Structure 1
Amino acid sequence: MVLSRPLAGHDPSRRSALGLLGAVPLAAGDLLAAPGTAEASTGRIPKDLRPGGAFDRYVKELADKEQFSGTVMIAYRGRQVLARAYGWADKESKIPNKIDTIYALASTSKLFTGLAVVQLVQQGKLKFYDLVSKHLNGLPAAMAERITVHHLLTHTSGLGDARRPGEQPPPEKIHTSYEGQLADFWENLTTFELEFPPGTRKAYSSMGYTLLGELVAKVTGMSFQDYVRQNIFLPAGMKDSAYYTRRQWLADDRIAHPYMYQKDGTRVDAVRNLDKGSVYGDAGQGSNSARGWMGTGGGNGFSTAPDLVRFAVALQGGRLTSRPYTEVYVNGKISAKPLKEDTSGNSLRGETFQAYGPVAPIYNNQRIITHGGGAGGISTSWSFYLDMDWTAIVLSNYDLQSIEPIIALERSLVTGA
């Protein structure tokens, strides 16, 4: 059962046949100041990141070509520099995407899972070197005897996201309750074989982060979703962020519907068409995260662009962990795969590391913590430039290929690469 996967570039063979997309005017939020603030007037804001600049023009160009639907936000020191929304949150009901539209995050919400675990370590309820089986029963012996909390956080547990090396995961089930969803997770887990001995390699694992969510629930005595709400969302002022159920996803017109690209060039509403899947899926039906009843530690929390800026501000301000444990959360633990070349063929400057939840690249000599997410009709990214006080949010209700060029341009313009 794959709930979400990391953002990965994918060029579809045909473009979708959607109508013209238009920008939605910005309504000022209670935290984020409008462009023209004191910071903008000091000249520290590159013109290409301001309204009408290169970044703004590029996103609009993609939207006009039907290659982007969603919300982008660039903030400096927690204050909005640029915010735009394009496309439809719900085409059937004619509801446009807005600056404060709520999006399913897919794997971007692993940021919250990792932070929840770090909070519990700070509270003395966990140790990073603890075997997961110290707190959770039901793990197969090969996992129970070897996998630590650190392994799960750094994707070095050996779980991966396939049942056996080279074997495809089983088709996703459509769940009508969270209890049934978790029962299916545990049933699948018992059939997994480790791809490698824990700690010897890195393989991205949504299954591992789902297990971390279960660990948080067991240690705290409350659901993972409630723990994150009370200990991350509320202290950070993230008023629209939650782990919504599929029923809420359908009923709440503030939440964007994912539109999955199909082989015939069309896009279908994932929440209303559970029998359909993404063309990027691994199983016969294709992936559709709406088949799960609710997001888990592995992915599919929901948030808005303004709330994700609030998350960065709260994290930096010490409202979510003490400063030493914030450093533990954001600092790279192991070297990850090298950064790819950009679209012009130039080698991207830096190296990527895995932190305890975020990915922690060094790009153009600047430290970044970031995470992307992708599933059928979902492409998301949160990036916080640690030493520059920039936050960049890209939230899309289109498939995986739609935002990688946006992230590449954002990173280049923010760091001056």
Structure 2
Amino acid sequence: MRMARHRPSTDSQPSRRFALGLLGALPLATGGALASSPEIAEAATGTPRGGPRPGGAYDRFLKRLAERDEFSGTILVAYRGRPVLARAYGMADKERSIPNRADTIYNLASTAKTFTGLAVVQLVRKGRIRLHEPLGSYLDGYPDEVAKHVTVHQLLTHTSGLVNHILPGEGDNRVTNSVEEEMRLRSEGHRKAKPMFTPGTQHSYSSVGFSILGELVATVSEEKSFHKYVADNIFAPAKMTSTAYYTRPDWLTNKRIAHPYIYQTDGSRIDGVRNLDAGAVLNGGNGSNAARAFIGSGGGGAFSTASDLVRFSFALESGKLAGRAYTELFMGPKFPRKPRDDSDAATAGFAAYGPVASIARDQRLVGHGGGIAGGNTNWTIYRDSGWIGVILCNYDLDVGSIIAEERKAVLGTS
């Protein structure tokens, strides 16, 4: 079963959004060099001094990674909706000799938690969900320690205490083969999760918490389907015409979707979609492979392009998706997060209602990253300066180093 996807809208759009239409058509030559493009020239004249530039430090950094075969993917940095730096390196599908391009579609992994959180906030705005209510007010079958004591707010902010991974394909070799089977097994897994600490007292990242929120969206929405709700209420109004919760058959057959290449202990990389037994081995990987799941969930697994994430950013900040007040509720900082490492210590990070809200060099940032075996992603809105950064790749890698270089370019850090 494949999920229905919306058709591109033919409605006329304001001139600022016309620039966004150019993003999906940016021509990228093989090897990452931009082909001649008047849109890029126009964008360059409309940007402030500083920031990322073709041939600049960030661009050179990516080229070096790609030349060492340490980066495969697409990056886009836009200013006020106009593309400033766009590059694609490596192969989307080595077996079919399909290169990564500007419009290549990637599995977003946990970056898609942003859509889950926004869906919940939309339903809060409609009065169908209350943030302070415990989970048991909406969903049956949970143990009392979850049903009566874990609130929607705590699930959104990763303060529920629920474990991170106990779901199909996450640490085992189980393969699901339909949407119904995937959702049933997830529902069963949700009800086995128990808090590791008193809910609300600590921050601990939980994918299962967001998968539960996906079930909540399906239960209280008119669509009665998480995937359909997000498609109808987020992807369609944001004009994200290439974004969907694609199924494994889509991943195998759609030539625009990048395959994840999972690093192996012998230094080789294996196509994770064609080899479901392959799993994560880097950084203490638990052997998981996202392609074992037939379809993604509230915990992650939507697919998108760099340009669609820029469109999403504009629709979000304009208030189109949740109204002005609830957009601020969605993106505002809620609970402090510990820095990932010393390199991140200078940045103040907070859980918002789906994304991460940060402060760096007195600027507000909102975004989210994600990783699967054979893939890493990151999306950032630099709210005070008009920049948007997107990193999408189909290799295992330390995406933190790429994020750091993007921030140096945008924020002017040394």
Same fold (TM over 0.5): yes
TM-score (norm 2): 0.88
Task: Considering Cα pairs closer than 8 Å and 6+ residues apart, tell me whether 1 or 2 has the greater RCO.
Answer: 1
- Partner secondary structure for residue 352 of structure 1: strand
8 Å contact from structure 1 (residues 348, 363) kept in 2: no
CA distance in 2, matches of 1:234, 1:99: 21
- The alpha carbon displacement at 1:92 in A equals 0.2
Match of 1:35 in 2: 40
Match of 2:140 in 1: 137
Q: Which amino acid aligns with 2:245?
A: Y
Determine the structure 2 residue equivalent to 1:262.
264
**Deviation at residue 179 of structure 1 after TM alignment:** 1.6
Aligned residue identity for 2:347: G
Q: Which amino acid aligns with 1:23?
A: G
Taking a change above 3 Å as real, the CA distance of residues 55 and 95 of structure 1, as seen in their structure-2 partners, is same
SS at match of 2:60: helix
* Residue 360 (1) aligns with residue 357 (2): yes
- Residue 158 in structure 1 maps to residue 161 in structure 2: yes
2:242 is matched with 240
Q: In the alignment, which residue of structure 2 is the partner of 1:385?
A: 382
CA contact (8 A) 1:281 1:287 kept: no
Given candidates 280, 283, 292, the residue that maps to 2:282 is 280
Partner of 1:8: none
Counterpart of 1:410? Answer: 406
Render the CA deviation track for 1:335-378: whole Å, top value 9, x for unaligned: 11136333xxxx75331111000111101111100100001011
Contact kept, 8 Å, 2:339 with 2:345, in 1: the verdict is no
Cα gap change, 1:125/1:193 in structure 2, threshold over 3 Å: closer, same or farther?
A: closer
| Secondary structure of the structure 2 residue equivalent to 1:82 | strand
Does structure 2 retain, via aligned residues, the 8 Å contact 1:374–1:400? no
1:22 pairs, out of 6, 24, 31, with: 31
Question: Cα gap change, 1:27/1:89 in structure 2, threshold over 3 Å: closer, same or farther?
Answer: farther
Give the Cα separation in 2 of the matches to 1:335 and 1:356: 12
The 1:73/1:66 distance shift into structure 2, 3 A limit, reads: same
Alignment-mate amino acid for residue 258 of structure 2 = A
Cα distance in 1 for residues equivalent to 2:173 and 2:333: 33
Distance in 1, Cα, partners of 2:49 & 2:366: 20
Q: Assess, with a 3 A threshold, how the Cα gap between structure 1 residues 274 and 130 changes in structure 2: closer, same or farther.
A: same
Is residue 394 from structure 1 mapped to residue 411 from structure 2 by the alignment? no
Partner residue of 2:48 out of 44, 51, 56: 44
Query: Does 2:206 correspond to 1:209?
Result: no
In structure 1, what is the Cα distance between the partners aligned to 2:404 and 2:34? Answer: 25
Distance 2:342 2:259 in 1: 32
TM-superposed CA distance for 1:414, in Å, is 0.9
- Measured in 2, the distance between the counterparts of 1:172 and 1:202 equals 29
Q: CA deviation at 1:195?
A: 0.5
**Residue deviations 1:284-334, cap 9 Å, x none?**
6x0100000001000010000000000111111111111111100111001
Two-structure CA RMSD over aligned residues (Å):
1.9
Q: Deviations over 1:94-125 (max 9, x none)?
A: 00000010000000000100001111111111
* Contact map agreement 2:160 2:209 (CA 8 A) in 1: yes
Alignment of 1:216-231 (within 5 A): 216-222=217-223, 223-231=225-233
Q: How far 1:34 sits from its partner (Å)?
A: 2.3
Establish whether residue 319 from structure 1 lines up as the match of residue 324 from structure 2. Answer: no
Helix, strand or coil at the partner of 2:378: strand
Q: Which residue of 2 aligns with 1:296?
A: 297
Shift of 1:190: 3.3
Contact kept in structure 1, 2:173 and 2:277, CA below 8 Å: no
In structure 2, how many angstroms separate the alpha carbons of the residues matched to 1:157 and 1:118?
17
Partner-residue secondary structure (3-state), 2:237: helix
Q: 1:154 to 1:56 in 2, by over 3 A?
A: same
Q: Is the 8 A contact 2:53 2:85 kept in 1?
A: yes
Give the counterpart letter for 2:236 in structure 1: L
Secondary structure at 1:372's aligned position in 2? strand
The aligned counterpart of 1:185 is 186
Residue type of the alignment partner of 1:410: E
Determine helix, strand or coil for the equivalent of 2:176: coil
Partner of 1:95: 98
Kindly report which structure 2 residues correspond to 1:340-351, keeping only aligned pairs within 5 A, or say none. 340-342=341-343, 348-351=345-348
Q: Name the residue aligned to 2:22.
A: none
Q: SS at the partner of 1:34? A: helix
Give ranges in structure 2 of 5+ residues lacking alignment. Answer: 1-29
Q: Distance in 2 between matches of 1:233 and 1:143?
A: 31
**How far did residue 283 of structure 1 move?**
7.3
Q: Give the total of aligned pairs.
A: 380
Measured after TM superposition, the shift of residue 282 of structure 1 is 6.3
Partners of 1:348 and 1:105 in 2: how far apart? 25
| Paired letter, 2:402 | I
Cα deviations by residue, 1:31-57 (Å, 9 ceiling, x for unpaired): xx82222x63256142x6111111111
Counterpart contact for 2:103–2:307, Cα < 8 Å = yes
Query: 359, 364, 369: which is aligned to 2:366?
Result: 369
